[in-house]
Amino acid sequence: MPYFDAASSAPLHPVARQALLAALDEGWADPGRLYREGRRARLLLDAAREAAAEAVGCRPDELVFTPSGTRAVHTGVAGALAGRRRAGRRLVVSAVEHSSVLHAAAAHEADGGTVTEVPVDRAGRVAPEAYAAALRDDTALACLQSANHEVGTEQPVAEVAAACREAGVPLLVDAAQSLAWGPVAGDWSLVTASAHKWGGPAGVGLLAVRKGVRFAPQGPADERESGRAGGFENIPAIVAAAASLRAVRAEAAAEAGRLRELVERIRVRVPELVPDVEVAGDPVRRLPHLVTFSCLYVDGEALLHELDREGFSVSSGSSCTSSTLTPSHVLRAMGVLSEGNVRVSLPPGTAEADVDRFLQVLPGAVAGVRERLGAPAPAAAGGGEASLVVDAVGRRCPIPVIELAKVFGDVPLGGTVTVLADDEAARLDIPAWCQMRGQEYVGERPADRGTAYLVRRTS
């Protein structure tokens, strides 16, 4: 049963399992104690720290283990901001950071700080010049992911790190998606990561803070992990995390090459096999194992269920699959279609045959969902009214776009369709539909009920 959601959580690596088992017997005691069980635990912890630091590319005393990647980000952002309080209270982030970074930014804003969001292009990438321009005298900290978790686009971390160094601003790099493949490039100040993304166990994050970076841990004091990650150390999991990081790194070059080709196959074949699909993210500067595409006129959750029934586990950034019923902030920032969104992220060892079977299954799954939703056939030349209004208020993604497409063939060239909708996804998906179809998106305005989106037929 192929699991294609490694970007959420990777299955436990066999080396992690083995190391965890061994460390359960040797590493359960308090490493702060002087008796033999404590000394044994301390030795394991020290060895794990050395191994992890080597993989990160830092000194062991620059690295602490946190209870999760989220915790590493929250601790890192809060500590670096507080350490640079004198410089100012501005935090710079990219618009497509992981929610843990954006939530830390929101908390900073709620506490009176300022947040500047650097936009991305349609591939999800920040421009180094735009990032550099956002750095100001009062900037306390900058954050940039090494690669995006939803679309796989690699960010220009080394260039941005150089700009930050020039401006005297520390850069925190969230390397959660990339650390399995290699160390973070460039002159970073802080790095965060999460073990269960590389096949380590849950319960372990990494926070590396370069010597010389001002850092003031927030919250109640605790002497463990250099005062940067309170609570009893989870040594068996830490040992397993470090061992599996070494193991995946040893296989990284070969596995990256293999998965890159499988992902390339998906990137090329999906638009050939499925009509009205948009593949998102940078085609070249990307993670080797991850690809995202969106299907017009498709309900993301229904498609996920369909694929799950066929044995494929994937995730989605569509609004219908989120608890807030809004499309993924990443797709929104990129301005790409969000309906029928599917993220495929291949764990190491993924079989070629499973990818091929996915490509066999996908067209039928998409067609089935479209049929049940009453998605339109390709539009014929219209000769009807010059201006139509479609009322999709109260209807959820992808229905507003389906209703638009259904009537679009009825208006003549130069005619318009107004879609009334109150679903958040419409704001992203109606312009995206226009771009995919080569039609003109005129704009939106508030309506009595919901929002009115205006589209003009140009072809």
CB nearer to a copy of itself: give 342 or 434.
342
CB nearer to a copy of itself: give 149 or 437.
149
**From the CB of 268, what's the least distance to a copy of itself, in Å?**
25
Is residue 230 a contact residue for a copy of itself (CB under 8 A)? yes
The single residue among 85, 122, 133, 219 that binds a copy of itself, judged by CB under 8 A, is 219
Ramachandran bin of 152, using left for φ above 0, alpha for ψ from -120 to 50, beta for the remaining angles: left
**From the CB of 201, what's the least distance to a copy of itself, in Å?**
7
Part in contact with a copy of itself (CB under 8 A); list of ranges 54-62, 69-77, 126-134, 359-367:
69-77
For the record, the structure tokens of 293 come out as 């595409």
Active site residue 320: yes
**From the CB of 151, what's the least distance to a copy of itself, in Å?**
18
Rounded Cα distance between 311 and 365, Å, is 12
Ramachandran bin of 333, using left for φ above 0, alpha for ψ from -120 to 50, beta for the remaining angles: alpha
The single residue among 85, 122, 305, 372 that binds a copy of itself, judged by CB under 8 A, is 305
Part in contact with a copy of itself (CB under 8 A); list of ranges 66-74, 114-122, 182-190, 398-406:
66-74
Is residue 9 a contact residue for a copy of itself (CB under 8 A)? yes
What are the residues whose beta carbons fall under 8 Å from the beta carbon of 202, sequence distance 6 or more? 9, 68, 195, 196, 237
CA 450 to chain centre: 30
Is residue 170 a contact residue for a copy of itself (CB under 8 A)? no
CB nearer to a copy of itself: give 24 or 452.
24
Is residue 198 a contact residue for a copy of itself (CB under 8 A)? no
CB 428 within 8 A of CB 327: yes
Part in contact with a copy of itself (CB under 8 A); list of ranges 124-132, 232-240, 371-379, 437-445:
232-240
Interior/surface letters 186-205, b for 16+ CB within 10 angstroms, e for the rest: bebbbbbbbbbbbbbbbbbb
Residue with tokens 């996915």: 358
**From the CB of 398, what's the least distance to a copy of itself, in Å?**
18
Rounded Cα distance between 166 and 158, Å, is 12
Strand 171-174 with 139-145, pairing: parallel
The single residue among 79, 97, 100, 274 that binds a copy of itself, judged by CB under 8 A, is 100
- CA angle 377-279-368, nearest 5°? 40
The single residue among 122, 232, 394, 413 that binds a copy of itself, judged by CB under 8 A, is 232
Is the bond leading into 398 cis (omega within 30 degrees of zero)?
yes
Residue with tokens 């500067």: 285
Is residue 112 a contact residue for a copy of itself (CB under 8 A)? no
CB nearer to a copy of itself: give 21 or 250.
21
CB nearer to a copy of itself: give 178 or 315.
315
The single residue among 47, 82, 107, 130 that binds a copy of itself, judged by CB under 8 A, is 107
Residue with tokens 């080709």: 261
x-marked contacts with a copy of itself along 25-64 as a string, rule CB under 8 A: x--xxx--xxxxxx--------------------------
Is residue 430 a contact residue for a copy of itself (CB under 8 A)? no
Rounded Cα distance between 47 and 52, Å, is 9
x-marked contacts with a copy of itself along 260-299 as a string, rule CB under 8 A: ----------------------------------------
Part in contact with a copy of itself (CB under 8 A); list of ranges 118-126, 261-269, 308-316, 433-441:
308-316
Size of site (CB under 8 A) for a copy of itself = 64
Sites for a copy of itself among residues 348-407 (CB under 8 A)? none
Is residue 116 a contact residue for a copy of itself (CB under 8 A)? no
CB nearer to a copy of itself: give 312 or 453.
312
CB nearer to a copy of itself: give 161 or 295.
295
Interior/surface letters 377-387, b for 16+ CB within 10 angstroms, e for the rest: eebeebeeeee
Is residue 237 a contact residue for a copy of itself (CB under 8 A)? yes
**From the CB of 178, what's the least distance to a copy of itself, in Å?**
17
Question: Which residue ranges make up the site for a copy of itself (CB under 8 A)?
Answer: 1, 3, 5, 8-12, 17, 20-21, 24-25, 28-30, 33-38, 67-71, 74, 78, 99-100, 103-104, 106-107, 194, 196, 201-203, 205, 219-223, 230-237, 301, 304-305, 308, 312-315, 321, 323
